């Protein structure tokens, strides 16, 4: 933590402010902007670490920060200029959540930024608010969140929209929901890599990576998976360049386990990019059989092809195809069809904290899209074959409800049991993986079998 005292540099906070503003104004993913500054050499390693921490912290805690600011501010937040409010959020986040940087330095930086991007009058206002909060934090008197319901308390404390908290509570109850929200707001630098056993064993890969002084271990319950405890420069590693592994969360890998893919199968991966499930399928198939990997965008197909070449896989044919529309050439040909459909992404909030702020309206059309894709991909399954539905969300409307509708409309399909490492038998053919319960991304998997 000594490092934090050395990181009080204006560049980091200036750039953090720009990233936060970009997210607020354009809904742009802040990580892309930060990465661009780093690649241009505008941020040192230490400055980039501070900027990332501030940006992710503000996004993870924005509703709570606004609650604190509104309590200590005379004018309502609606009357505060958006840029000034962003500066307050950055500063209050540091006052509340950093324990090593001196408070006067944080306050001074907030005032400096306000003078630079606003007016002297606004700087005086920022100074007054921050000093009130700093005093109460130091004296242990920071205001508690005082709201009417448990749902509202969880919403404000963990900065998740109230409607989304309500959906989690419907599935988990309030006690388990709070555990999930804590995980969503954690700082997780873990990276999971799946071993390309076509080229190397897990043991040899670990030896190779540890020679580079990387902190990496074998996954506790998932075979041929290794875990980086800190995010390295993945693409710069010689083991990556040689195709010894690819990055994929255990949840996605488990979907391929559930499908029961075998060497020699014909597999269709309907929404394939960035290609992880196709890669896992090819490795499981020992590079024998055939995989048709589809996506709508050329750049994503090119990304799959690059990954395929790097991994030394020759059974994947990647091409542009709209999986929501029937292709007569594919009807009834596949042993396995993977339908990892577009979704709200609410299972990966810990990785992408900005996702939580999607409006309920913005995701309202997703179930219809999911039903359309699932219904179309079902046409490609041969009698006795498998249709594997998956999403990286945990909302019932995109998961169980979509499956229920599909089964009502497609009597030839039934759910089929499967077994997963680390989890065991899934007798009803469908499971929601929860980050706080399973140690994976939030994910839904359902195995459907077409009756002979």
pLDDT at 175: 97
For residue 148, give the H/E element and its range.
none
The set of catalytic residues is 392
DSSP for 210-234 reads HHTT--EEE-SSSTTEEEESS---G
pLDDT at 9: 41
pLDDT at 7: 37
* Ranges in the chain, pLDDT < 70: 1-10
Q: Please enumerate in sequence order all residues whose Cβ is within 8 A of that of 9, keeping only pairs 6 or more positions apart, or say none.
A: 47, 50
pLDDT at 155: 98
- In this chain, the answer to whether the domains covering 2-138 and 191-247 adopt an identical fold is no
Q: Do 280 and 338 touch, CB atoms closer than 8 A?
A: no
Give domain 2-138's CATH superfamily.
Answer: NusB-like (1.10.940.10)
pLDDT at 35: 77
Helix/strand/coil for 183:
helix
Q: Rounded distance, CA 234 to CA 247, Å?
A: 9
Ordered by start, the domain boundaries in the chain are 2-138, 150-184, 191-247, 250-450
pLDDT at 48: 83
Statement: the pTM of the whole predicted model exceeds 0.85: yes
CATH code 3.40.50.150 for 250-450: yes
Helix/strand/coil for 246:
strand
Q: What are the structure tokens assigned to 40, written together?
A: 């241009």
Helix, strand, coil % in the chain, rounded to nearest 5:
50, 15, 35
What's the burial of 121, exposed, middle or buried (CB within 10 Å: 0-12/13-18/19+)? exposed
Fold of 191-247: Alpha-Beta Plaits (3.30.70)
pLDDT at 356: 96
pLDDT at 42: 74
pLDDT at 10: 43
């Amino acid at each position: 933590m000594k490092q934090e005292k050395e990181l009080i540099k204006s560049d980091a906070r200036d750039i953090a402010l720009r990233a936060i503003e970009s997210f607020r104004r354009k809904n742009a993913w802040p990580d892309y902007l930060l990465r661009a500054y780093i690649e241009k050499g505008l941020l040192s390693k230490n400055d980039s670490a501070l900027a990332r921490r501030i940006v992710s912290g503000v996004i993870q805690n924005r509703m709570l920060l606004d609650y604190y600011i509104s309590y200590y501010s005379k004018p309502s937040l609606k009357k505060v200029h958006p840029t000034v409010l962003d500066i307050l959020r950055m500063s209050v986040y540091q006052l509340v959540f950093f324990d090593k940087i001196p408070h006067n330095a944080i306050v001074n930086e907030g005032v400096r930024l306000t003078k630079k991007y606003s007016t002297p009058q606004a700087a005086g206002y920022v100074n007054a608010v921050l000093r009130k909060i700093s005093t109460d934090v130091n004296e242990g008197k920071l205001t508690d969140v005082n709201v009417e319901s448990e749902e509202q308390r969880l919403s404000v404390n963990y900065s998740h929209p109230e409607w989304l908290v309500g959906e989690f509570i419907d599935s988990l109850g309030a006690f388990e929901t709070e555990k999930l929200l804590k995980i969503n707001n954690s700082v997780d630098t873990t990276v999971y890599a799946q071993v390309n056993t076509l080229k190397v064993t897990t043991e040899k890969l670990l030896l190779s990576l540890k020679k580079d002084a990387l902190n990496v271990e074998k996954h506790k319950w998932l075979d041929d998976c290794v875990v980086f405890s800190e995010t390295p420069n993945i693409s710069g590693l010689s083991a990556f360049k040689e195709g010894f592994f690819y990055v994929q969360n255990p949840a996605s890998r488990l979907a391929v386990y559930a499908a029961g893919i075998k060497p020699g199968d014909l597999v269709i991966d309907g929404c394939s990019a960035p290609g992880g499930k196709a890669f896992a399928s090819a490795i499981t198939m020992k590079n024998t059989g055939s995989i048709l990997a589809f996506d709508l965008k050329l750049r994503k197909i090119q990304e799959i092809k690059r990954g395929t070449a790097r991994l030394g896989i020759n059974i994947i044919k990647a091409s542009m195809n709209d999986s929501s529309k029937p292709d007569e050439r594919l009807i009834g040909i596949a042993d396995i069809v993977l339908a990892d459909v577009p979704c709200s992404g609410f299972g990966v909030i810990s990785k992408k904290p900005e996702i939580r702020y999607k409006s309920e309206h913005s995701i309202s059309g997703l179930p219809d899209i999911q039903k359309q894709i699932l219904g179309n991909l079902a046409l490609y399954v041969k009698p006795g074959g498998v249709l594997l539905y998956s999403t990286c969300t945990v909302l019932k409307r995109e998961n169980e409800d979509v499956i229920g509708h599909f089964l009502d409309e497609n009597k030839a399909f039934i759910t089929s049991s499967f077994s997963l490492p680390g989890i065991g038998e899934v007798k009803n053919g469908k499971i929601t993986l929860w980050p706080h319960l399973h140690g994976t991304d939030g994910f839904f998997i359902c195995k459907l079998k077409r009756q002979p």
